[in-house]
Structure 1
Amino acid sequence: MQSTWIGVDIGTSNVKAVAFDENGGVVAHATGTCVTYHPRNRFVEQNPDEIYRLFLHVIRQVTEQLRHKNATVEAVSLCSAMHSVIPLDAHNRRLTRSILWADNRSEAQADALKQASVFPKLYSHTGIPAHPYAPLTKMVWFRETQPRLFSRIQRFVSQKEYIWFNLFGKFHIDYSMASGTALLNNRRLKWSEMALQYTGIRATQLSEAVSTYHVEKLTNPLLCRKLGLPSGTPFVIGAGDACLANLGSGALAKGVSTLTIGTSGAIRQTAATPARDEKRRLFTYILDETHFVSGGPTNNGGNVLEWLSKHLLLKDPNELLALAENAPPGADELLFVPYLLGERAPVWDAHARGSYQNLSWQHTQAHLVRATLEGIVLNLNQTRQIIDGQLSKTQILHANGGFTQSKFWVQLLADIFGIAVKVNQSGESGCLGATMLAMKSLGKIDSLEKGVQNCVHFAETYHPDPSNRAMYRKVNKNFGKLIGQWKE
């Protein structure tokens, strides 16, 4: 009978459950689409109960597949999108929907934090830049704009904590998710008194912070039947998606960075100690007590191509990718700043906006598409340069996310970054990372490095085209100048 490990990724767009064998091979897979609500301008929300039901559904689908394959489940481990906020009342009932990382309602609170005299020291505690994506700024928004509601809030949780409470009746948050709140001192692994004081909440309004290896056993008979799992199945609390994407892509060694482009995007590197950028442009999250993931996320990834498809050129995204190949590298000096949704790294400015520069009569639809794709990658390369200065120079890049389905786009990445790009074989790096945490937690492997050696596999490697090197050095420099107003 085959043993499997289930990783569940509670994402923004989808909830996925994937069962892997001990060598990282996919045995079963299920996914469900999340519904996102935009009740007002800059508000981005989801219904936590809908996401919980989706979570139960995808696990049940996977266990049904495993039953037909005569396979057993060793453990279930969780990966989750970070930075969501759900306020609960004294009876643990939610007072609003889940407020997501992409929600910008707390722009004014983030601006005030950035200017506050306490912020440099607060960043040194938490490693989180001042931006509306941070739960801290959303909690301050509740206090300043919704005082009556704020007075009723007895606890703030994330979507992952909401699910964990529904499973086990306990309010736990793993160190990884906690490190993304801007409230955790990620060196001491305790809630920061300075952050609590600034926010105006008590430590008792937050969950108990626990190791990413923390285990609870599922014993509720109703839930066991719903999920198709035997009583006593271990659930490992796991970590945030940024950390588990690094682990699942095999990026633990010095000089190895991971780049993901899906709806949004990010570039990250793993180190043995928390990084601190004196200009406060990088985040640092906790994978476990000896692995810290630092980098920068972008709001503007594959969603920019979707915008170009739906609102500007009115062509299918695959048609646009083919069209881009007809334009020369550098798009005949056409530059695109991709800040359609404000931006996190490298500028950390929710007010930033996108633009085409140097647009002229000679530029065609092909130029517009190529410049758009280049702009997304050029922006991530700005963050790569900051990471290289703070941690280790990136020698090789591990790539994952939906963009890797386009050979053209991955080659563009190698050319603009000027380094080799290895594409992960598994498109489910978050789920795979979660299962490796579970394997270490339950003693199947003795280190995460061993898990990477056993479970992480690669498809193709792309090398930069030497003939484009000089061109893209110039384009990178020009792009850096173009976004200088926000960088400063």
Structure 2
Amino acid sequence: MNYFIGVDVGTTSTKAVLYNEHAQVLTQTKQGYPLYRDASGMAEQNPDELVNAVEKVIHDAAQSADLTTGKLLAVSFSSANQSVILLDENHQPITRAMTWADTRARKVASDLKSSPEGKQIYIKTGTPIHPMSPLTKLMWLNAEMPEKMTSAKYVADIKSYLFYRLFNVFRVDISIASCTGMLNIETADWDSQALSLAHVTPEQLPEIVSGTTQQVGLTKEAQTAMAIPGDTPFIYGAFDGALSNLGVGALSKDTVAITIGTSAAVRVVTDHPVIDPQQRLFCYAVDNGLWVIGGPLNNGGDVFQWAVEHLVDASAVQNENMDAYALANEVIAGVPAGSNGLIFNPYLGGERAPIWNANARGSFFGLSQLHTRADMLRAVMEGINMNINSVFQAVRNLVGDPKSVTATGGFAQSAVWKQMLADVLNCPVEIPNSFESGCLGAIVMAMNSLGIVDSLEAVQQFIGEKEVCKPDSEAVAVYQKYQPVFEQVQELLSPAYARMADLQQKTTNH
């Protein structure tokens, strides 16, 4: 038997999935690491802790393979995007990795976004101007840590740093480069205007390669740590969102892919770049004539978790002797669509798409003395779904009506949530039974790189059964009345977000 290992490098953990050559999952391993939040807005990783975790999960996955008779054909990568690490002349880190979740560049992003230059940069790079973008992170580092920027010889991200540690080469795949806000999506090369804002030169950045590029020749240290053959090809792959689309077979504008985990995302793949005139959506290069258009949302399952913790009666959980989430889903199922006239804007963690406002805050609207905790609980789930629908409609307006919607993530364990998503979107939702779509996408890229399959479309043969949730016409009619009010409330409250965020910061500082 021959094997592949798909690796998904995340914000707080890395997992490796061992597949056979028919893309069937044999085993998976996982290793966590801290996310450092020592200061307000900070969200950093220690790059070396992350490299150690990657080596460990590959080692553990490979131990489950029989490499005496079989061969490890390739290791391929899905990874989080939009990280920044400054390196010295020996490619050693002089900072930790600022992750996508780091929001310290809020003011820099806000100033750039409101300038004519900000719009020019967005149109050329397809990356929304936001604190998560490496462009604004580098502008912030220039202002706040000029001595570090001056001494930095190279600027890396987690993927390019990882490959440097494994192979002593400084390269990155085009999809990760495209997420930096510094890659011109028309020329597929670094954009001089963005680099000048970031105060970096092309020589400081990694060489851009295709995601199907094979890297061979592991360093002795890496080979020892992973206990795999030194000539095993490592495939660069792509960022996790693009591979999540690939892993569910959403490879054309006919299929929109929605992921709802802790956060959420709506994405569609096209054969040409599409820029949103209203700057609500990203447009990133994936590879070889493919681009992904969509929007990431901060507020997904984490908001529902907050609601369950605060709105589900603890004594009821004890009395019913059931899981708090199972009880919450039962309670929600008993409340009619529209939550008896209650709307929830779910911006507990600021928001990226579609409003790109790091100061956004959550709110209930329409509360009366008749409302109960059950109504509030359902309104929270509806608010998360209406927010997703705002991005979904923006994608539809830009790219056209999809023929299908495929959804994955932790939300799929809840029957009421799946049905609600179909009702709010007014569209059948397909939910694949397979999991780890990012790792599957990574190994299909590896198969394509090795010539085992002739196109990424071959993923279709590896995707198992799908469950289909069809919209309920009565609920759809309700949500079509509520969605415009949901968006109107957000617009009306928008001018107050920054003032409230400022007041909250002063409160927490005391």
1:100 shift after superposition: 1.1
Deviation at 1:453, TM superposition (A): 2.2
Percent of counterpart pairs with the same letter? 37
Q: CA deviation at 1:68?
A: 8.7
Label 1:318 to 1:82 Cα distance change in 2 as closer, same or farther (>3 A).
farther
1:355-394 equivalent positions in 2, closer than 5 A: 355-394=363-402
Residues 174 and 209 in structure 1, CA contact (< 8 A), matched pair in contact too:
yes
Range 381-390 or range 358-367, more displaced = 358-367
Q: Write out per-residue CA displacement over residues 73-92 of structure 1, whole angstroms, 9 at most, x where no aligned residue.
A: 21000110011111112232
Q: What is the distance in 2 between the residues matched to 1:320 and 1:22?
A: 41
Contact 1:346/1:487 (8 A) holds in 2 = no
CA contact (8 A) 1:349 1:486 kept: no
CA RMSD, 1 decimal: 1.8
**Partner of 1:9: helix, strand, or coil?**
strand
Give the TM-score, by structure 2 length.
0.92
Name the residue aligned to 2:284.
285
Q: Distance in 1 between matches of 2:282 and 2:10?
A: 19
Residue 430 of structure 1 corresponds to: 438
Q: What corresponds to 1:150 in structure 2?
A: 149
Preserved contact between residue 174 and residue 212 of structure 1 (Cα < 8 Å): yes
Letter in 2 for 1:322: E
Shift of 1:458: 3.3
Equivalent in the alignment of 1:205: 204
Q: What stretches of structure 1 of length at least 5 have no aligned partner?
A: none
Please state how far the C-alpha of 1:95 moved relative to its aligned partner.
1.8
Give yes or no for contact 2:428–2:469 (8 Å, CA) kept in 1: yes
Amino acid at match of 1:387: V
Deviations 1:171-213 (A, max 9, x none): 1111000000000011211000011112221111211111111
Q: Answer yes or no: is the 8 Å Cα contact 1:102–1:299 preserved in 2.
A: no
The TM-score normalised by the length of structure 1 is: 0.96
Report Cα offsets for 1:260-309 as digits up to 9, x if no partner.
01111100001000110111111011221211110000011111122223
Q: Which residue of 2 aligns with 1:56?
A: 55
How many angstroms apart in 1 are the aligned matches of 2:262 and 2:32? 13
* Residue 17 (str. 1) matches residue 16 (str. 2): yes
Partner of 2:353: 345
Alignment of 1:418-457 (within 5 A): 418-449=426-457, 451-457=458-464
Letter in 2 for 1:438: A
- Shift of the 69–397 alpha-carbon distance from structure 1 to 2, 3 Å rule, reads farther
Residue 415 (str. 1) matches residue 414 (str. 2): no
- Aligned counterpart for 2:487 among listed residues 465, 480, 488: 480
Q: Is the 8 A contact 2:166 2:218 kept in 1?
A: no
Instruction: Please report how far the alpha carbon of residue 319 of structure 1 lies from its aligned counterpart in structure 2 after TM superposition.
Output: 3.2
Aligned equivalent of 2:477? 470
Secondary structure of residue in 2 paired with 1:30: strand
Q: Does 1:305 align with 2:312?
A: no
The aligned counterpart of 1:249 is 248
Moved more, 264-273 or 219-228: 219-228
- Mapped partners of 1:117, 1:336: distance in 2: 34
Aligned partner of 1:217 in structure 2 is 216
Distance 1:209 1:168 in 2: 16
Tell me the distance in 1 between the aligned counterparts of 2:429 and 2:22. 23
**Residue aligning to 1:259:** 258
Give me the whole-angstrom Cα distance separating, in 2, the residues matched to 1:291 and 1:486: 37
Matched, 1:332 2:347: no
**Equivalents in 1 of 2:223, 2:241: separation in Å?**
29
Report the number of matched residues.
486
1:20, distance to aligned residue in structure 2 (A): 2.1
On the 8 A contact 1:218/1:235 being kept in 2, the answer is no
Conservation of the 8 A alpha-carbon contact between 1:255 and 1:395: yes
Query: Does the 8 Å CA contact 1:131/1:137 hold for their aligned counterparts?
Result: yes
Alpha carbons of 1:303 and 1:447: their partners in 2 closer, same or farther (altered >3 Å)? same
Give CA deviations for 1:364-403 in whole Å, capped at 9, x if unaligned: 2221221111111110110111111111212311111111
Cα distance in 1 for residues equivalent to 2:54 and 2:304 = 29
Secondary structure of the structure 2 residue equivalent to 1:136: helix
